[in-house]
Structure 1
Amino acid sequence: MPQTPLSIPLDRTSPVPLYFQVAQELERRIMTGEIPAGTRLENEVVLAGRLGLSRPTLRQAIEYLVDRGMLVRKRGVGTQVVRPRVRRPVELSSLYDDLDRVGEQPRTRVLSLAVAAAPDPVAARMELSPGTEVYVIERLRLARDEPLALMRNHVPLGLVDLDEERLSASGLYQLLRGAGVTLKIASQSIGARNATAAEARALDEPRGAPLLTMDRVVYDDVGRVVEVGSHVYRASRYSFELTLTG
C-alpha cells in the first residue's frame, strides 16, 4: 500500500513525552484499522518535519511500535504497518476472553471432543487415578478468521456438560464459570519449539516455524484440578505479556 501522509495533534504542554503521544496515536489507528496492515509510512525526515518533531523523537516513537510488533522496517520498502500481534497478559483468563476483550473476534473450530482415559502423566497432574475418564478436547482458535492457536485440554467429568456446539460458541472458562466452577489459581509454564508438519498446516505456518507453548493446570476455590491444558501459538502473531514489580 502507498505511503500515507499523517497528521497527529500533539499537546506540547502535556507531561506525556512527544514520542509517546505519537506512538499512542499511531497504535490506536493501527488497532482500529484506520491505518491498515501493509501501509507504508512516509520518510522519517518528511514525517518529522510535518509533525514539528526532531528526527530522534520520531524515531523513538517508531522504535516503540516496532518493539510492539506493529511496525516493521524493510530494506528498500521503508517502515510498514504489520498486523499487530495478540499480546496476552499472563493471568488466569481464557484465550477466548482475552481475544474478545481486545476486539480480535475469536472463533473456535472444535477438532475433536471425546470422553477417554487420561494418559498417566495427565491423570497424575489432575490428581486422578490412572485410567480415569475425562473430557479430551482439541480445538483450533482463530482471531479475525486467522488461525492463532491449537489447544488440547483435559477436564474432569461431572464439572460441566460439554458438547461441540457450546465449545464452538464460548470459551472453556466461560462454560466452567457458567456451571458454577470458581477458577482460583493456576500453575503455568511457557516455552517455545518448532512446529510439526501437522501443526504448521493447521496454523498456516511453514513446517518448523517457531511456536510458543503454554502448559497450565487450573484449580478451583476448593483445590480441585478443573483443567489441564497444553496449547501452542503462532509466534508470528502472538506474545505473552508480563508485568513485573519490585
Structure 2
Amino acid sequence: MSERTTVWGLVPNLELDRSSPVPLYFQVATRLQQLIENGELPVGGRLENEVELADRLGVSRPTMRQAIGYLVERGMLVRKRGVGTQIVHPKVRRPVELSSLYDDLVKAGQRPRTEIKLLEIRAAPDSVAEALGIPFGSEINWVERLRYADDEPLALMHNAVPLDVLALRRSDLEQRGLYELLRAAGHIPRMANQVVGAKSATAAEAKSLGDSRGAPMLTMTRTAWDAAGRAVEYGSHIYRANRYSFELTLTS
C-alpha cells in the first residue's frame, strides 16, 4: 500500500502519494491547482506561509517553495511582500478539441462576456480567402471581439464567416458563442485545422487585455468545416498566457 498524508486546515483534503514516481512538488502544486479551480481555495485568499505548509505536509521547504513557484509561474498565485502568497484566479485550461471558447467557459462556470469591437462586411484578405476556400476578394462577415471570463479580459478574437453561411448580428454575438450560432444555422463544425503559437503583446493588444506591452500571449488560428466539407469559419485569436493554456491528452 502507498503511504499517504492527508492535510487539513486552509488546504483541505490534500493527499500526497509518497510511493509515486511523480515528484512531491508537482503533486502539491497540482492538488492546490485543483482546489483553486474548484473554488475551495477562493480568489483573494491567502495560503499559509511556505514553512507552515511544508511542516504540515511533511515535505521539505525547498519542495514546498518549488510547488508554490510553479503555481506563481502559471499565474494562479502571486507573492506579495507583507501579504504573503495570494490566490489571484484560476487559469482557464482549454482542451484541444473542436469547441468554442464561449462553450468551454460556460462549462467551466466562468461566466463569459463578449464586447464587440468591430462587425462589418468586408473583402476577405487573400490569406483568409485561401483558408476558407473562397475566391480572392469575396465578401465575408468580419468580427472582432474581446472575450471576458468572470469579468476579466481573456482573449482578442478575430473571425471571418462567409456571407452565405451565417448572417451575424451584434446582439447575437454579445449573448451567444459563434459555434452556437453556426450550429443553430445548420452548419455544425465537424473538422478543423488549428495552429497554436506564441507572441509578445503589442501596445494595442496589451491595452485591450489589461496586460503590459510585451507580455507573453498564446495565439491560435483555426479553419473549421462542416460535415459537407464546407469551410464555415476562420479564426485568429490571442489569449493571455498567464490566464490561459491548451490542454492535450496524448495516447499511443
Question: TM-score, structure 2 length as denominator?
Answer: 0.81
Check if 1:231 corresponds to 2:222.
no
Equivalent position to 1:43, from 38, 45, 49: 49
Tell me if 1:116 matches 2:122. Answer: yes
**Aligned 1:149-168 pairs, distance under 5 A:** 149-168=155-174
Output aligned runs, 1:99-138, within 5 Å: 99-138=105-144
Q: Report the Cα distance in structure 2 between the residues aligned to 1:208 and 1:66, rounded to whole angstroms.
A: 19
Instruction: Report the equivalent of 1:176.
Output: 182
Counterpart for residue 4 of structure 2: none
Verify the 8 A CA contact 1:154 1:228 in the aligned structure 2.
Answer: yes
Structure 2 stretches lacking a partner, 5+ long: 1-8
C-alpha deviation, 1:158, in angstroms: 1.8
**Cα offset for 1:72?**
4.7
Whole-angstrom CA distance in 2 between matches of 1:87 and 1:118: 31
- Does the C-alpha gap of structure 1 residues 73 and 243 become closer, same or farther in structure 2, counting only changes over 3 Å? farther
1:136-178 per-position Cα deviation (integer Å, ceiling 9, x unaligned): 1111101111111111111011222320000000000000001
Q: Percent identity between the aligned chains?
A: 57
Cα distance, 1:236 vs. partner?
A: 1.9
Amino acid at match of 1:101: K
1:55 aligns with one of 42, 60, 81: 60
Partner of 2:5: none
Deviations 1:209-239 (A, max 9, x none): 2221111111111111111111111112111
**Aligned match of 1:86:** 92
- CA positional deviation for 1:41: 1.9
Code of the aligned partner of 1:118: A
CA shift in 2, pair 1:176/1:10, >3 Å: closer
Mapped pair 1:214 → 2:220: yes
Single out whichever of 170-179 and 64-73 deviates more from structure 2.
64-73
Query: How much has 1:80 moved relative to structure 2?
Result: 3.5
Tell whether the 8 Å contact from 2:16 to 2:27 is kept in structure 1 after alignment. Answer: no
Q: Tell me how many residue pairs correspond in the alignment.
A: 241
Question: What residue number does 1:8 align with?
Answer: 12
Q: Which stretch shifts more, 143-152 or 232-241?
A: 232-241
Q: What is the TM-score with the length of structure 1 in the denominator?
A: 0.83
Alignment of 1:196 with 2:197, yes or no, is no
Give the match's secondary structure for 1:98: helix
Q: Is the 8 A contact 1:85 1:239 kept in 2?
A: yes
